[in-house]
Structure 1
Amino acid sequence: MQSTLTIPSPTNDYHREHLLVLLENLQQFVGVDLIQEYGFSLDRLSEQIFDANFYLLSHNCAADPILNYGNRRVLELWEVSWAELTKMHSRETTKSSDRASRSAIMQQVAAQNYVTGYDGIRVSKTGREFRILDVTIWNLFTNDGKSYGQAAWFKTYESI
Protein backbone atom coordinates (compact mmCIF):
# COMPACT_ATOMS: atom_id res chain seq x y z
CA MET A 1 0.00 0.00 0.00
CA GLN A 2 2.98 2.38 0.26
CA SER A 3 3.67 2.51 -3.46
CA THR A 4 2.98 5.70 -5.36
CA LEU A 5 -0.72 6.15 -5.84
CA THR A 6 -2.21 7.46 -9.07
CA ILE A 7 -4.85 10.20 -9.05
CA PRO A 8 -8.02 8.92 -7.38
CA SER A 9 -10.57 7.76 -9.94
CA PRO A 10 -13.14 5.01 -10.48
CA THR A 11 -10.38 2.91 -12.08
CA ASN A 12 -8.50 2.62 -8.76
CA ASP A 13 -11.62 2.87 -6.55
CA TYR A 14 -10.38 6.27 -5.33
CA HIS A 15 -7.72 4.47 -3.26
CA ARG A 16 -10.20 2.80 -0.96
CA GLU A 17 -7.56 0.57 0.72
CA HIS A 18 -5.40 3.59 1.56
CA LEU A 19 -8.35 5.58 2.86
CA LEU A 20 -9.51 2.70 5.04
CA VAL A 21 -6.14 2.77 6.82
CA LEU A 22 -6.56 6.51 7.41
CA LEU A 23 -10.15 6.17 8.64
CA GLU A 24 -9.51 3.15 10.87
CA ASN A 25 -6.56 4.83 12.58
CA LEU A 26 -8.48 8.10 13.01
CA GLN A 27 -11.28 6.24 14.74
CA GLN A 28 -8.89 4.13 16.83
CA PHE A 29 -6.69 6.98 18.09
CA VAL A 30 -9.03 9.98 18.09
CA GLY A 31 -12.49 8.42 18.25
CA VAL A 32 -13.68 10.26 15.13
CA ASP A 33 -15.75 8.30 12.61
CA LEU A 34 -15.82 10.32 9.37
CA ILE A 35 -18.17 7.80 7.75
CA GLN A 36 -20.80 8.40 10.40
CA GLU A 37 -20.08 12.12 10.86
CA TYR A 38 -20.56 12.89 7.17
CA GLY A 39 -23.09 10.17 6.33
CA PHE A 40 -20.89 8.61 3.68
CA SER A 41 -22.18 5.48 1.98
CA LEU A 42 -19.83 2.51 2.09
CA ASP A 43 -20.22 1.74 -1.60
CA ARG A 44 -19.06 5.26 -2.63
CA LEU A 45 -16.90 6.03 0.41
CA SER A 46 -13.60 6.76 -1.33
CA GLU A 47 -15.16 8.91 -4.04
CA GLN A 48 -17.13 10.86 -1.43
CA ILE A 49 -13.98 11.49 0.61
CA PHE A 50 -12.05 12.65 -2.45
CA ASP A 51 -14.84 15.16 -3.17
CA ALA A 52 -15.64 15.97 0.48
CA ASN A 53 -16.05 19.42 1.98
CA PHE A 54 -12.99 19.00 4.23
CA TYR A 55 -9.25 18.57 3.78
CA LEU A 56 -7.62 15.15 4.15
CA LEU A 57 -4.00 14.39 3.38
CA SER A 58 -1.33 11.87 4.32
CA HIS A 59 2.35 11.19 3.93
CA ASN A 60 4.40 8.02 3.98
CA CYS A 61 6.75 6.91 6.75
CA ALA A 62 10.05 7.75 5.05
CA ALA A 63 12.71 9.64 7.02
CA ASP A 64 11.79 12.71 4.93
CA PRO A 65 8.11 11.87 4.28
CA ILE A 66 6.47 12.43 0.91
CA LEU A 67 2.78 13.19 0.57
CA ASN A 68 0.88 10.22 -0.80
CA TYR A 69 -2.75 11.38 -0.65
CA GLY A 70 -4.72 14.58 -0.73
CA ASN A 71 -8.38 14.95 -1.55
CA ARG A 72 -9.61 17.44 -4.13
CA ARG A 73 -9.79 20.31 -1.63
CA VAL A 74 -6.15 19.72 -0.62
CA LEU A 75 -5.07 19.86 -4.26
CA GLU A 76 -6.95 23.13 -4.70
CA LEU A 77 -5.69 24.70 -1.46
CA TRP A 78 -2.04 23.89 -2.15
CA GLU A 79 -2.54 24.73 -5.85
CA VAL A 80 -0.95 21.50 -7.06
CA SER A 81 -1.76 18.62 -9.37
CA TRP A 82 -1.90 15.07 -8.08
CA ALA A 83 1.51 14.39 -9.67
CA GLU A 84 3.01 17.41 -7.90
CA LEU A 85 1.43 16.54 -4.56
CA THR A 86 2.72 12.98 -4.55
CA LYS A 87 6.28 14.15 -5.21
CA MET A 88 6.18 16.82 -2.49
CA HIS A 89 7.98 16.28 0.79
CA SER A 90 5.60 16.92 3.64
CA ARG A 91 7.92 19.60 5.05
CA GLU A 92 7.52 21.55 1.80
CA THR A 93 3.94 22.41 2.74
CA THR A 94 5.43 25.12 4.96
CA LYS A 95 7.89 27.95 4.41
CA SER A 96 11.40 27.10 5.55
CA SER A 97 11.03 29.56 8.46
CA ASP A 98 8.01 27.61 9.78
CA ARG A 99 9.45 24.11 9.46
CA ALA A 100 10.79 23.89 13.02
CA SER A 101 7.32 24.37 14.51
CA ARG A 102 5.87 21.87 12.02
CA SER A 103 8.57 19.37 12.90
CA ALA A 104 7.83 19.77 16.61
CA ILE A 105 4.14 18.99 16.17
CA MET A 106 4.94 15.98 14.00
CA GLN A 107 7.28 14.66 16.71
CA GLN A 108 4.51 15.14 19.25
CA VAL A 109 2.16 13.13 17.03
CA ALA A 110 4.77 10.40 16.66
CA ALA A 111 5.06 10.14 20.46
CA GLN A 112 1.34 10.40 21.33
CA ASN A 113 -0.25 8.86 18.18
CA TYR A 114 -2.36 11.98 17.58
CA VAL A 115 -2.83 15.69 18.23
CA THR A 116 -6.05 17.68 17.93
CA GLY A 117 -6.68 21.41 17.76
CA TYR A 118 -3.46 22.24 15.91
CA ASP A 119 -3.20 25.51 13.95
CA GLY A 120 -0.30 26.14 11.60
CA ILE A 121 0.86 28.31 8.72
CA ARG A 122 1.23 26.62 5.36
CA VAL A 123 2.20 27.78 1.88
CA SER A 124 0.86 26.83 -1.54
CA LYS A 125 2.94 26.10 -4.61
CA THR A 126 2.47 29.70 -5.75
CA GLY A 127 3.64 31.09 -2.39
CA ARG A 128 0.18 31.97 -1.02
CA GLU A 129 0.21 31.62 2.78
CA PHE A 130 -2.70 30.37 4.82
CA ARG A 131 -3.34 29.10 8.33
CA ILE A 132 -4.91 25.66 8.71
CA LEU A 133 -7.22 25.58 11.73
CA ASP A 134 -8.25 23.00 14.31
CA VAL A 135 -6.28 20.26 12.59
CA THR A 136 -6.27 16.65 13.74
CA ILE A 137 -3.03 14.80 12.93
CA TRP A 138 -2.56 11.11 13.64
CA ASN A 139 -0.20 8.20 13.09
CA LEU A 140 -1.02 5.50 10.59
CA PHE A 141 -0.43 1.79 11.09
CA THR A 142 -1.44 -1.18 8.96
CA ASN A 143 -3.55 -3.96 10.44
CA ASP A 144 -0.39 -5.91 11.20
CA GLY A 145 1.06 -2.97 13.17
CA LYS A 146 3.57 -1.66 10.63
CA SER A 147 4.10 2.09 10.49
CA TYR A 148 2.33 3.53 7.45
CA GLY A 149 2.85 7.29 7.89
CA GLN A 150 0.77 10.14 9.28
CA ALA A 151 -2.42 11.89 8.19
CA ALA A 152 -4.13 15.22 8.79
CA TRP A 153 -7.76 16.30 8.62
CA PHE A 154 -9.22 19.77 8.95
CA LYS A 155 -12.31 21.67 7.90
CA THR A 156 -11.20 25.27 7.62
CA TYR A 157 -8.32 27.61 6.92
CA GLU A 158 -7.82 31.34 6.77
CA SER A 159 -5.82 33.36 4.28
CA ILE A 160 -2.90 35.35 5.63
Structure 2
Amino acid sequence: MTQLELSQLILSSYQRLLGESLTPAGYTAEQAADWLQHDAPFAILAHNTASDPCFIYANQTAQNCFEYAHAELIGLPSRLSAEAPNREERAQLLAAVDQHGFSTGYRGLRIAKSGRRFWIENATVWNLIDEAGVKHGQAALLRAWRNWTAEE
Protein backbone atom coordinates (compact mmCIF):
# COMPACT_ATOMS: atom_id res chain seq x y z
CA MET A 1 0.00 0.00 0.00
CA THR A 2 1.39 3.41 -0.94
CA GLN A 3 1.58 6.31 1.52
CA LEU A 4 -1.27 8.02 -0.35
CA GLU A 5 -3.44 4.88 -0.19
CA LEU A 6 -2.70 4.46 3.52
CA SER A 7 -3.58 8.10 4.22
CA GLN A 8 -6.84 7.69 2.34
CA LEU A 9 -7.63 4.51 4.27
CA ILE A 10 -7.04 6.33 7.57
CA LEU A 11 -9.19 9.28 6.52
CA SER A 12 -12.02 7.30 4.91
CA SER A 13 -12.26 4.81 7.80
CA TYR A 14 -12.46 7.67 10.31
CA GLN A 15 -15.11 9.46 8.22
CA ARG A 16 -17.20 6.29 7.83
CA LEU A 17 -17.04 5.24 11.49
CA LEU A 18 -17.17 8.61 13.24
CA GLY A 19 -19.07 10.71 10.72
CA GLU A 20 -16.60 13.58 10.49
CA SER A 21 -13.58 14.56 8.45
CA LEU A 22 -10.07 14.84 9.86
CA THR A 23 -8.89 17.26 7.16
CA PRO A 24 -10.00 20.71 6.02
CA ALA A 25 -12.78 20.72 3.42
CA GLY A 26 -12.01 20.89 -0.27
CA TYR A 27 -8.64 19.14 -0.28
CA THR A 28 -7.71 16.72 -3.03
CA ALA A 29 -6.56 13.26 -1.91
CA GLU A 30 -2.94 14.34 -2.33
CA GLN A 31 -3.44 17.59 -0.39
CA ALA A 32 -5.25 15.75 2.41
CA ALA A 33 -2.45 13.16 2.68
CA ASP A 34 0.22 15.87 2.75
CA TRP A 35 -1.66 17.93 5.36
CA LEU A 36 -2.24 14.87 7.55
CA GLN A 37 1.43 13.89 7.41
CA HIS A 38 3.05 17.30 7.82
CA ASP A 39 0.61 19.91 9.14
CA ALA A 40 -2.07 18.24 11.27
CA PRO A 41 -2.14 19.68 14.82
CA PHE A 42 -2.86 16.20 16.22
CA ALA A 43 -0.97 12.92 16.22
CA ILE A 44 -2.07 10.03 14.02
CA LEU A 45 -0.58 6.55 14.32
CA ALA A 46 -1.65 3.30 12.70
CA HIS A 47 -0.60 -0.31 13.07
CA ASN A 48 -1.18 -3.39 10.95
CA THR A 49 -3.03 -6.63 11.68
CA ALA A 50 0.03 -8.78 12.51
CA SER A 51 -0.14 -10.96 15.63
CA ASP A 52 2.27 -8.41 17.16
CA PRO A 53 1.05 -5.29 15.32
CA CYS A 54 3.68 -2.89 14.01
CA PHE A 55 3.31 0.78 13.18
CA ILE A 56 2.63 1.41 9.49
CA TYR A 57 1.88 5.14 9.77
CA ALA A 58 2.93 8.01 12.01
CA ASN A 59 2.49 11.64 11.06
CA GLN A 60 5.02 14.30 11.99
CA THR A 61 3.16 15.26 15.17
CA ALA A 62 3.20 11.62 16.33
CA GLN A 63 6.89 11.33 15.52
CA ASN A 64 7.59 14.44 17.61
CA CYS A 65 5.40 13.21 20.46
CA PHE A 66 7.05 9.78 20.66
CA GLU A 67 10.53 11.17 19.81
CA TYR A 68 11.18 8.75 16.95
CA ALA A 69 12.25 9.47 13.39
CA HIS A 70 9.87 8.12 10.77
CA ALA A 71 12.24 5.27 9.84
CA GLU A 72 12.52 4.23 13.50
CA LEU A 73 8.79 4.27 14.22
CA ILE A 74 7.54 2.48 11.10
CA GLY A 75 7.89 -1.25 11.73
CA LEU A 76 8.22 -0.84 15.51
CA PRO A 77 5.80 -3.10 17.42
CA SER A 78 3.06 -0.75 18.58
CA ARG A 79 2.94 -2.41 22.02
CA LEU A 80 6.26 -0.67 22.72
CA SER A 81 4.42 2.66 22.84
CA ALA A 82 3.31 1.63 26.34
CA GLU A 83 5.43 0.26 29.17
CA ALA A 84 4.87 -3.39 30.11
CA PRO A 85 2.60 -2.66 33.14
CA ASN A 86 0.29 -0.58 30.89
CA ARG A 87 0.13 -3.00 27.95
CA GLU A 88 -2.79 -5.04 29.27
CA GLU A 89 -5.00 -1.93 29.47
CA ARG A 90 -3.91 -1.02 25.93
CA ALA A 91 -4.67 -4.55 24.70
CA GLN A 92 -8.17 -4.37 26.22
CA LEU A 93 -8.82 -1.07 24.43
CA LEU A 94 -7.70 -2.50 21.09
CA ALA A 95 -9.88 -5.59 21.56
CA ALA A 96 -12.89 -3.38 22.29
CA VAL A 97 -12.17 -1.31 19.17
CA ASP A 98 -11.84 -4.50 17.15
CA GLN A 99 -15.31 -5.53 18.28
CA HIS A 100 -17.12 -2.17 18.16
CA GLY A 101 -15.27 -0.34 15.36
CA PHE A 102 -13.99 2.61 17.39
CA SER A 103 -13.55 4.08 20.85
CA THR A 104 -13.42 7.72 21.91
CA GLY A 105 -12.25 9.50 25.05
CA TYR A 106 -9.40 7.09 25.81
CA ARG A 107 -6.71 8.09 28.32
CA GLY A 108 -3.54 6.10 28.84
CA LEU A 109 0.10 6.35 29.85
CA ARG A 110 2.65 6.10 27.03
CA ILE A 111 6.42 6.22 26.72
CA ALA A 112 8.65 8.08 24.27
CA LYS A 113 11.93 6.81 22.86
CA SER A 114 13.87 8.80 25.51
CA GLY A 115 11.92 7.12 28.33
CA ARG A 116 9.77 10.21 28.95
CA ARG A 117 6.33 9.13 30.12
CA PHE A 118 3.26 11.03 29.03
CA TRP A 119 -0.51 10.79 29.22
CA ILE A 120 -2.53 10.68 26.04
CA GLU A 121 -5.94 12.16 26.67
CA ASN A 122 -9.19 12.20 24.72
CA ALA A 123 -7.78 9.77 22.15
CA THR A 124 -9.87 8.10 19.47
CA VAL A 125 -8.96 4.65 18.17
CA TRP A 126 -10.66 3.06 15.18
CA ASN A 127 -10.43 0.11 12.81
CA LEU A 128 -8.88 0.68 9.39
CA ILE A 129 -11.42 -0.95 7.11
CA ASP A 130 -11.40 -0.44 3.34
CA GLU A 131 -14.41 -0.09 1.04
CA ALA A 132 -14.54 -3.89 0.58
CA GLY A 133 -14.75 -4.45 4.34
CA VAL A 134 -11.18 -5.73 4.70
CA LYS A 135 -9.49 -4.79 7.97
CA HIS A 136 -5.94 -3.46 7.58
CA GLY A 137 -5.25 -2.52 11.20
CA GLN A 138 -6.17 0.20 13.65
CA ALA A 139 -5.41 3.91 13.92
CA ALA A 140 -5.25 6.35 16.80
CA LEU A 141 -5.90 10.07 16.91
CA LEU A 142 -4.17 11.79 19.83
CA ARG A 143 -5.61 15.25 20.37
CA ALA A 144 -3.86 16.01 23.65
CA TRP A 145 -0.97 14.74 25.74
CA ARG A 146 0.94 15.93 28.73
CA ASN A 147 4.02 14.79 30.57
CA TRP A 148 3.57 12.36 33.43
CA THR A 149 4.69 13.51 36.85
CA ALA A 150 5.81 11.36 39.78
CA GLU A 151 2.87 12.64 41.84
CA GLU A 152 0.37 10.88 39.57
Aligned position for 1:62:
50
Q: Which residue of the other structure, out of 121, 125, 149, is the alignment partner of 1:133?
A: 121
Shift of 1:87: 2.2
Shift of 1:124: 0.5
Structure 2 Cα separation of the partners of residues 39 and 142 of structure 1: 21
Aligned position for 1:97:
85
RMSD over aligned Cα atoms:
1.3
Aligned position for 1:119:
107
Q: Which residue of the other structure, out of 126, 138, 141, is the alignment partner of 1:150?
A: 138
Structure 2 Cα separation of the partners of residues 134 and 148 of structure 1: 23
1:41 aligns with 2:49: no
Q: Is the 8 A contact 1:16 1:45 kept in 2?
A: no
Distance 1:159 1:139, change over 3 A: same
Q: Which amino acid aligns with 1:129?
A: R
Q: Which residue of the other structure, out of 14, 27, 38, is the alignment partner of 1:26?
A: 14
Structure 1 Cα separation of the partners of residues 26 and 71 of structure 2: 27
1:86 aligns with 2:74: yes
- Residues 48-94 of structure 1: CA distance to partner in whole angstroms, max 9, x if unpaired? 11121111110001111000000001111111111110121010000
Aligned position for 2:60:
72
| Deviation beyond 4 Å, 4+ runs, structure 1 | none
Indicate the SS of the match to 1:144.
coil
Shift of 1:40: 6.2
State the aligned residue count. Answer: 146
Q: Which amino acid aligns with 1:66?
A: C
Q: Which amino acid aligns with 1:48?
A: W
- Residues 114-157 of structure 1: CA distance to partner in whole angstroms, max 9, x if unpaired? 00000111000110000011001000112222110000112110
Gaps of 5+ in 1: 6-14
Q: Which residue of the other structure, out of 12, 25, 37, is the alignment partner of 1:50?
A: 37
TM-score under structure 1 length normalisation: 0.87
Gaps of 5+ in 2: none
